[in-house]
Amino acid sequence: MNTPEKTAPATRVLTVPAMGLVVLVGVSGSGKSTFAARHFKPTQVISSDYCRCLVSDDENDQSASADAFSLLHTIVDIRLRRGLLTVVDATNVQSGARAQLVRIAKDNDVLSTAIVLDVPEALARERNRHRPDRDFGDHVIRRQRRDLRQGVRRLSREGFRRVHVLTGPEEIDAATVELERAWSDRRELSGPFDIVGDVHGCREELEELLGRLGYALSRDDRGRPVGARHPEGRTAVFVGDLVDRGPDSPGVLRLVMGMVADGDALCVPGNHENKLVRVLKGGRAQLTHGLAETMDQLGRESEEFRQRVLSFCDGLVSHLVLDGGALVVAHAGLKEEYHGRASGRVRAFALYGQTTGETDEYGLPVRLPWAREYRGRAAVVYGHTPMDKAEWLNNTICLDTGCVFGGRLTALRYPERELVDVDAHRTWYEPVRPLAGGASTEAERPDASVDATDVGVGGPRPGLAVHTRYGTVRTDAGSTLAALEAMSRFAVDPRWLLYLPPTMAPAPTSAEPGVLEHPKEAFASFRGSGVGEVVCEEKHMGSRAVAVLCRDEAAAERRFVPGELGTVYTRTGRPFFGDPALRARVVDELRRAVTDAGLWDRLGTDWIALDGEMLPWSAKARSLIREQYASVGAAARAALPAAGSALAAAAGRGLPVDGLADRVARRTEQVEEFSRVYRRYSWDTDGTAGLLYAPFMVLASEGREYGDADHLWHMATAERLAEASGLVRSTRYRVVDTTDPAACAAAADWWGDLVAAGGEGMVVKPVLGARAEGRKGLVQPGLKVRGPEYLRIIYGPDYTDPERLEVLRDRNVGRKGGLAMREHKLGLEALERHARGEPLWRVHEPVFAVLALESEPVDPRL
Amino acid sequence: MLLTITTTARPATDLGHLLHKHPDRVQGFEQSFGTAYVFYPEATEERCTAALLLEVDAQALLRARTSVSTPDFSLAQYVNDRPYATSSLFTVALGRVLRSALRGTCRQRPELARTPIPLELRLPAVPCRGGADRARALFEPLGWSVLAEPVPLDPGLPGWGDSHYLSLTLTGTLRLSEALSHLYVLLPAMDGTKHYWVDRGEVDKLLRAGGLADAASEGAAEGGDDPGAHASGWLAAHPERAWITRRYLNRRESYVRTALARLAEADDLPEEAGDDPAVEEAAEERIAAPGRGEREPSLAEQRAGAVMAVLRAENAASVLDLGCGSGKLLERLVREPSLGRVTGVDVSVASLEHAHRRLCPGCDPRGRGRHRPLFADTAGGTEHAAARPELLVGSVVYRDKRFEGYDAAVLMEVVEHLDPSRLPAMEETVFGAARPRVVVVTTPNAEYNVHYEGLEEGRLRHSDHRFEWTRAEFTLWADRVADRYGYRVRHVPVGPEHPETGAPTQMGVLTR
């Protein structure tokens, strides 16, 4: 098939890879452009004339050729990198020109096809004569034709996988093009699959495993298994290395070949099959790594069987892309750029993995950790490297659990992602080195680290674009770098950070006289976006605290950080308690509360993440209260009386200072009111004594997040916890129908009572929960309505002066709302990714983006 | 907000001439940020008191935000001590309203302006983090007798102690102009954290007011309204002169620093002092080792020297300075001829800007066609590559392709700034992914801390240090890392070795 094919001018069907390069070869006037236009989409065809025109405004300007081809090569390179079929419409009669194109295709790991259009010289000349813009002489065509004739025989050796030669205008006109998918492209198969790790001749274990997976074996008249079928039509997929080392490689081959032939299984080759093919073809290879045993065993089989083995193994495709592209199976794994591609290095990677060229102390090759850097959306299932345990790492999993070395034979049910395994019946072959430690046996799992590019750093321009269910959220350069510094220097281990609380917008500025925020506007806002029922929750004035609590160390090790039981972190991801001993006590107390409230069983989980408020405010914000608030009070209390007495003395002298003195007196009162606010939220704590945690939302537990749970459930859960522990405080709340004016008014009164008693205010949330949607999709998860006294510590002691209040009414709430919404989307995305068990970097990306957005210059007083 | 100036020089009401403000009038002077009033609570032959009262208009201040450079951008705009404390804003008002008095010009009574008179200055709330001692150290050498009483933080928060304000009374016999220029220069210096300059040239003006024109480097044009132009140059002779000038010149902002401040604020934390290596060095200098001669190089210099020696011994041709900070080590690295490629990495853009200023004088990172190192993603390769190291914003706890391909990496005084829980990520980034042939790690030796006077037991050398290791702890860590990632490790002490506690800095050289 690698030789030029000549056939009668009937309808020639030219097969062309659906993803790859097509090089048209023919003299000027041979009809390449016409041919291309007939068979391919305009965007698929890149013509040298067009490129010449782009760089010179004249498609015949030969002086622009170098630039034109440079552009052409660039476009071809980009298109092939993006996996697009690309047709080059240029004469391509010289081998040098073709070689460059083939090189580009190889660099992008796609196949090249040449289509030669061979027309009589006279016809070409005639056609050119009808084109006034082609004024070159006939000798040009003659020379092109000579080059073509010389080259055409060598084409297949130039690296083209296929060469189609069409001779004469009739054959050219009659030809049709048929796109052929890559052999590895089996996206139409959606399983369900049972993917089986390296068998290495362990037939007994394979039979047992298939049995456990629910396959019914069929046997030949000698009782040997020759097929297996799953009653529900599942398909087995073998990751290769069926042979060598083990006791019965022919038996394994017989079974697998039978299953593949019957359509019950798929199979990719392993490096052992590859070597076996070389030997069976008569090539030379050292009979090491168990190949000797296989040749021995095959020697007892028939020649016919050996031939079947050869043709089976030789016909295996390097890797398979399945289930619409969501699943890739390759023996040694495959990096994302190689999925669905075809080239020598793709095959080498799939069979042997990527090695550093170095060897370890056992003389075995050191493998590059491609899986640690894998960032693809497709799950990659592979084998090749014996591990003591199969574990997911960045959406990849190695199923080789060393059965032949006395380990286990493992299968993965897909899409269920369940592991099924059987123990080896014995150690069939002594391993050279101990099985690679499964990730969890080490203190640090390999996916504990995140790449700089995962957080938008390290590229030409810092920044993230996080794709969420509700749209893409971007971060800019400055805030991304600020987040990098904050996250690197201050945050807890990112494995704990499954979520950062989004900022919350206030209700639109109130029209009521004397107040900036009032429940009325919050109700109106939700009513306006189509939310009927809302819940009003008392707003505790403390510090935001996310608590992640594990039932036991096993849960922490599996999902978070080994050796710990939980953590409490702040809204920017810092440890809430600087003192590890205090953190441990709080975590223990909260875990006890979860246990006593029966939540582990109720939620079917061994860990839980809560969002809430830690009181008192002074527990964390003590130095802020001191620096930012109490200091202002102190300065005022020192300065205002001094000013007052100076003014009094001046008044005593008859100087006109009345207005000034009045203002100083008023400031004195306001500062006292101001001080009362922060004092109320400050009290002493000693260890956990005095601390109160008010959870208002269950964020997540094993395998699920609670964005869709309604707030009444969240509140009830918080109440259970409060009943179970003195450390936990429940939250007062009430449900309000925003379309019922009486209910709204009653709720406003309730708010009035709260703030009159010194409360910060309340938060109004859609009852349906964080994922509640309104007329235009996702709505704000909550709007805060803060009390007028509380706002003194936000807007200053004197903000209630009418002229100040007037100015403050113009505050830009909209921008804050936009920010809150973007962060809300990111928060939901992070929880969703975590619930799906996605790799750390995927969870960390939206979390990091929240931190970046928090550093953006949006008025934080809002 | 308030300053009272009392004199008992007879006739005391001549104070009105000196201040150019009539004792029987209440005068208001509009400022962009409020109104300054001058009035006289008492005015008799024996005793006359003038009061300067600044009533800050918060709204006006906000309107003037574009012209007033505020280091804090949000909460503090509304909730701040400016209306009450003698902040630098007050100083600005002082300089304007009492300009002539400050200059010592007095047409009616020129001789009085030149005569020291008995004075009592009262300031009820002066921000001064150094406490009463600092105030005395600043004013006593100038001939004042100082009564400085700390203002209690809040009677409603018992147990919280005193605030950082002083109620300050200065008494002495001085020329009025001199007295005012002392306040004009020293009040902002005492107020360490927050300054509200009306324009950038303000710094220069203040320093000139103290007679220190040289220190006001950046070369603002000589202004005609310079209030301190005729001051006597007392600052030049002040024993605390170095401290005072440093307070003025050490302030710089960067946009990322501001963004970080916002994050701290989001977390209810006061603004960070920042992870400025200069601060750290100063700290180590402050608690200088015993018996170090004047001529001996500082510990920081010895450390950098030791790192250079290791790199030479290991024949490193390219080096990655991880956590390069403001570029002290980079400065040496780029001068080393055997190093073909030098790259500095830091997680702080502010530090890198510092390093950039240090290494490329006169080169504006945002300027057109200039060296633009900060967002570079690949190796330099420019004609300046040798002289100008590449600078990358990056983090040792995020794996980074850009760190690969170097012979050596240096982690000089970096690991102790990481939370112990983040060390594995750093190890993975450096030893697992970047895998240079040589990794040099230096970190404080905690055992040596007992020799630092002024460092309380159990305290760390720098506020951002998350831990300081004993030699045994460092060895344990280095051995574990070496074992896990296939390196060999050797330990080298840096600095004067003590027989029992070892050297102040410990250095581990990991090679593979």
- Any idea where the domains of chain A sit in the sequence? 13-180, 185-442, 462-504+811-862, 510-540+732-810, 541-616+691-730, 618-680
Contacts of A484 in chain B (CB under 8 A): 347, 393-395, 398
pLDDT 10s digits, B381-399: 343 444 468 889 999 999 9
Between A814 and A475, the more confident residue is: A475
Q: CA A590 to CA A567: how far, in whole Å? A: 10
User: What pLDDT does A141 receive?
Assistant: 85
What are residue B492's phi and psi, to 5 degrees?
A: -130, 125
d(CA A160, CA A102): 7
> Which ipTM score applies to this complex?
0.80
Distance CA B331, CA A331 (A): 50
Which has more confidence, B216 or A682? A682
Please identify among residues 145-204 of chain A the ones whose CB lies closer than 8 Å to any CB of chain B: none
pLDDT, position B72: 45
Residue type, B505: T
What pLDDT is recorded for position B225? 42
Q: Which residues, 6+ apart, have CB-to-CB distance to A315 below 8 Å?
A: none
Among candidates B73, B85, B260 on the partner chain, residue whose Cβ is nearest the Cβ of A639: B85
Picking from A444, A452, A643, the nearest residue to B2 by CB comes out as A643
- Whether residue B197 is predicted with pLDDT greater than 50 in this model: the reply is no
Sheet containing A162-167: give its strands across: A45-47, A86-89, A20-25, A111-118, A162-167
> In 3D, which of B299, B330, B195, B187 has the Cα closest to residue B249?
B195
- Residue of A71 and A432 predicted with greater confidence: A71
Q: What percent of chain A has pLDDT over 90?
A: 72
Is the CATH number of domain A510-540+732-810 3.40.50.10470? no
CATH architecture under which domain A185-442 falls: 4-Layer Sandwich (3.60)
- Please give the average per-residue pLDDT across B186-197, as a whole number: 67
Is residue A451 pLDDT above 60, yes or no?
A: yes
- Mean pLDDT in residue range B495-508: 93
Would you state the pLDDT for residue A494? Answer: 94
**Smallest Cα–Cα separation from A840: which of A372, A212, A422?**
A372
For B496, the token pair is: 């004067």
Contact B160 A799 (CB under 8 A): no
Q: Which residue has the higher pLDDT, A808 or A571?
A: A571
The residue-averaged pLDDT of A112-122 equals: 92
User: Across residues A199-228, what is the average pLDDT?
Assistant: 96
Q: Is the pLDDT of residue A248 over 90?
A: yes
A541-616+691-730 classified as CATH 3.30.470.30: yes
Domain boundaries B2-251, CATH class: alpha beta
User: What chain B residue is nearest to A802 in terms of C-alpha separation?
Assistant: B59
Q: On the CB side of B312, how many CA atoms lie within 13 Å of its CA?
A: 11
- What's the confidence (pLDDT) of residue B284? 55
Inter-chain touch B262–A617, beta carbons under 8 Å: no
Q: Do A679 and B154 touch (CB under 8 A)?
A: yes
Question: Hey, is the C-beta of A807 within 8 angstroms of any chain B C-beta?
Answer: yes
Q: What distance in Å separates the CA atoms of residue A236 and residue A68, rounded to the nearest whole number?
A: 50
Report the SS3 class of residue B270.
coil
- Chain A positions touching B154 (Cβ under 8 A) are 630, 633-634, 675, 679
Q: What are the backbone dihedrals phi and psi of residue A257, each rounded to the nearest 5 degrees, phi first?
A: -60, -35
Spell out which residues of chain B touch residue A685, defining contact as CB-CB under 8 Å.
Answer: none
| pLDDT band at residue A63 using 50, 70 and 90 as cut-offs | confident
B281-511: CATH topology: Rossmann fold (3.40.50)
Q: Do A488 and B78 touch (CB under 8 A)?
A: no
Distance from CA of A581 to the nearest CA of B (A): 15
Q: Which residues of A touch B49 (CB under 8 A)?
A: 646, 649
**Who wins on pLDDT, A498 or A364?**
A498
* A contacts of B127 (beta carbons < 8 Å): 635
Locate B157 and state its tokens: 């928060």
CA–CA dist A49, A64 (Å, integer): 10
Q: What is the mean pLDDT of residues A478-486?
A: 92
- The predicted pLDDT at position B385 comes to 40
Burial of A376 (0-12, 13-18, 19+ CB in 10 A): middle
Domain ranges of chain B: 2-251, 281-511
pLDDT of residue B33: 80
Task: Read off the pLDDT band of B298 (50, 70, 90).
Answer: confident
Q: CA-to-CA distance for A733 and A727, rounded, in angstroms? A: 19
Q: Do A452 and B398 touch (CB under 8 A)?
A: yes
- Of A483, A380, A138, the residue nearest B263 (C-alpha): A483
Confidence of residue A394 (pLDDT cuts 50, 70, 90): confident
Of A482, A667, A676, the CB nearest to B263: A482
Question: How does pLDDT run across B353-376, given as a tens digit for each residue?
Answer: 888 878 876 665 554 444 555 544
Question: Residue A36: what pLDDT?
Answer: 95
Average pLDDT for chain B: 80
**For the residues A257-277, what does the mean pLDDT come to?**
95
- How many whole angstroms separate alpha carbon B509 and alpha carbon A166? 68
| Contacts with B480 (C-beta within 8 Å, 6 or more apart), sequence order | none
The whole-angstrom separation of Cα A563 and Cα B371 is 47
Q: How far apart are alpha carbons A135 and A698 in whole angstroms?
A: 78
Give the residue from A374, A394, A489, A645 with the most B CB atoms within 10 Å of its CB, the best one to mutate: A489
Residue A667 and residue A675: Cα distance in Å, rounded? 12
- Enumerate residues 272 to 291 of chain A having a beta carbon within 8 A of any beta carbon in chain B: none
Give chain A's radius of gyration (CA, Å): 36
- For B263-272, how does the pLDDT look when each residue is reduced to its tens digit (9 = 90+)? 666 666 655 4
Tokens matching residue B508: 């581990």
B66: closest CA of chain A, how far (Å) = 15
Q: Do A631 and B417 touch (CB under 8 A)?
A: no
Instruction: Give the model confidence (pLDDT) of B394-443 as tens digits.
Output: 999 999 999 999 999 999 999 999 999 899 999 999 998 899 999 999 99
**Which distant-in-sequence residues (6+ apart) come within 8 Å of A777 by Cβ?**
A470
Alpha helices in B153-298 (DSSP H): 176-190, 201-209, 241-249, 255-266, 277-286
- The C-alpha atoms of residue B343 and residue A720 are separated, in whole angstroms, by 56
Q: What SS3 state is found at B382?
A: coil
* Closest-CA residue to A485 (of B406, B264, B440): B264
Band (pLDDT 50/70/90 cuts) for residue A129 is confident
Q: Please, what's the b/e burial string for B42-79 (b: 16 or more CB within 10 A of its CB; e: otherwise)?
A: bbeeebbbbbbbbbbbbbebbebeeebebbbbbbbbbb
**Which band of pLDDT confidence, cut at 50, 70 and 90, is reported for residue B451?**
confident
Question: pLDDT-derived band of residue B68, with 50, 70 and 90 as boundaries?
Answer: very low
- Taking the C-alpha atoms of residue A688 and residue A728, their distance in angstroms, rounded to an integer, is 11
The pLDDT value recorded for residue B358 is 81
Three-state SS at A578: coil
Alpha-carbon distance B59 to B34, whole Å?
9
Using pLDDT thresholds of 50, 70 and 90, give the confidence band for residue A47: very high
Q: Which of the four pLDDT bands, split at 50, 70 and 90, describes residue B275? A: very low
Asked if A547 contacts A568 with a C-beta cutoff of 8 angstroms, the reply is yes
CB distance B79–A793 less than 8 Å? yes
Strands (E), A90-240: 111-118, 162-167, 176-180, 185-186, 193-196, 216-219, 225-229, 235-238
Cα distance between the two ends of chain A:
72
Q: Do A449 and B399 touch (CB under 8 A)?
A: yes
- pLDDT of A419 reads 95
* Helix (H) / strand (E) containing A195: strand A193-196
Residues B51, B55, B57: CA angle, nearest 5 degrees:
165
User: Do the Cβ atoms of A690 and A589 come closer than 8 Å?
Assistant: no
The minimum CA-CA distance between A658 and chain B, rounded to whole Å, is 11
Of A596, A578, A110, the closest CA to residue B269 belongs to: A578
Task: Residue count of chain B, please give it.
Answer: 512
What integer pLDDT is reported at residue A839 of this predicted model?
A: 86
Rounded Cα–Cα distance for residues A72 and A98 (Å): 13
* Alpha-carbon separation of residue B457 from B280, B417, B452, B460 (angstroms): 18, 19, 10, 9
Q: How far apart are the first and last CA of chain B?
A: 65
Q: What pLDDT, on a 0 to 100 scale, did the predictor assign at position B138?
A: 94
Query: H helices of A188-326, where?
Result: 203-213, 249-261, 271-280, 291-299, 303-314
Query: Residue A567 — very low, low, confident or very high, per pLDDT cuts 50/70/90?
Result: very high
Q: At what angle do helices A271-280 and A291-299 cross, to 10 degrees?
A: 50
Residues of B in Cβ contact (< 8 Å) with A660: 26, 37, 53, 55
CB contact under 8 A, A629 and B79: yes
Task: Determine which of A105-119, A819-833, B273-287 has the lowest per-residue pLDDT on average.
Answer: B273-287
Which residue of B25, B74, B263, B280 is the best one to mutate when testing the A interface, meaning the one whose CB has the most A CBs within 10 A?
B263
Looking at this protein, which amino acid is placed at residue B158? Answer: P
A570 neighbourhood in chain B, CB within 8 Å: 267-268
Q: Look up residue B74 and give its DSSP letter.
A: S
What pLDDT does residue B201 have?
A: 57
pLDDT at B88 over 90: no
Six-digit token string for A153: 């025989």
pLDDT at B69 over 90: no
How many CA atoms does the CB half-sphere of A676 hold within 13 Å?
15
pLDDT one-digit tens code per residue, B99-158:
889 888 888 888 889 999 999 999 999 999 889 999 999 999 999 999 999 999 999 898
A residues 614-633 near B, CB within 8 Å? 617, 620-621, 623-624, 626-633
Q: At B70, is the pLDDT very low, low, confident or very high (cuts 50, 70, 90)?
A: very low
Mutate to test the interface with A, among B25, B35, B165, B395 (most CBs of A within 10 A): B395
* pLDDT value at residue B63: 64
Is the CB of residue A476 less than 8 Å from the CB of residue A483? no
- Whether B208 has a pLDDT exceeding 70, the answer reads no
Give the integer Cα–Cα distance in Å for A231 and A226: 17
Closest Cα of chain A to B493: distance in Å? Answer: 27
- Assess whether pLDDT exceeds 60 at residue A162: yes
- Among partner residues B26, B79, B394, which is closest to A655 by beta-carbon distance? B26
Question: Which residues of chain A neighbour B124 with C-beta distances below 8 Å?
Answer: 638-639, 641-643
Question: Which pLDDT value is given to residue A191?
Answer: 86
Relative to beta strand A265-267, strand A235-238 is: parallel
Residue A475, amino acid = T
DSSP assignment of B79-129 equals: S-STTTS--HHHHHHHHHHTHHHHHT--SS-HHHHTS-EEEEEEEEEEE-T
Specify whether the backbone of A135 is left (phi greater than 0), alpha (psi in -120 to 50) or beta: alpha
Question: Which pLDDT does position A815 carry in this prediction?
Answer: 87
pLDDT band at A804 (very low <50, low <70, confident <90, very high): confident
How far apart are the CA of B495 and the nearest CA of chain A, in angstroms? 28
User: What is the predicted pLDDT for the residue at B370?
Assistant: 46
Contact B53 A660 (CB under 8 A): yes
Least confident of A295-299, A333-337, A502-506, B373-377: B373-377
pLDDT given at position A697 = 97
Q: Over the stretch A306-328, which tens digit does the pLDDT of each residue have? A: 999 999 999 999 999 999 999 99
Of A457, A345, A553, the C-alpha closest to A844 is: A457
CB–CB of B395 and A452 under 8 A?
Answer: yes
Task: Please check the confidence at residue B193 and state whether its pLDDT lies above 90.
Answer: no
Which residues on B lie below 8 Å from A458 (Cβ)? 377, 394, 400-402
Residues 6+ apart with CB under 8 A from B77: B61, B62, B65, B70
Q: Which residues of chain A lie closer than 8 angstroms to B128, CB-CB?
A: none
Note whether B268 contacts A856, CB cutoff 8 Å.
no
Option in B75, B127, B263 nearest A628 (CB) = B75
Please write the tens of the pLDDT for every residue from B220-263: 333 334 444 444 578 778 888 777 776 765 554 444 445 566 66
Mean pLDDT over each residue of chain A, to the nearest integer: 91
pLDDT attached to residue A554: 93
Asked if B79 and A452 come within 8 Å (Cβ–Cβ), the reply is no
Burial A395-416 (b: 16+ CB within 10 A, else e): bbbbbbbbbbbbbbbbbbbbee
**Distance separating alpha carbons of residues A424 and A790, to the nearest angstrom:** 69
Each residue of A346-378: pLDDT tens digit?
999 999 887 766 666 666 666 667 888 888 889
Report the C-alpha gap between A568 and A35 in whole angstroms.
67
What is the distance of C-alpha A855 from the center of its chain? 23
Residue among A556, A455, A325, A321 at smallest CA distance from A845: A455
Residues A13-180: name the CATH superfamily: P-loop containing nucleotide triphosphate hydrolases (3.40.50.300)
Residue in B57, B73, B129, B262 to test binding to A, most A beta-carbons within 10 Å: B262
Torsion over CA: A41, A43, A44, A49 (sign) = positive
Q: Do B160 and A624 touch (CB under 8 A)?
A: no
Between chains, do A561 and B421 touch, taking CB under 8 Å as contact? yes
What residues in A contact B125, CB-CB < 8 Å? 634-636, 638-639
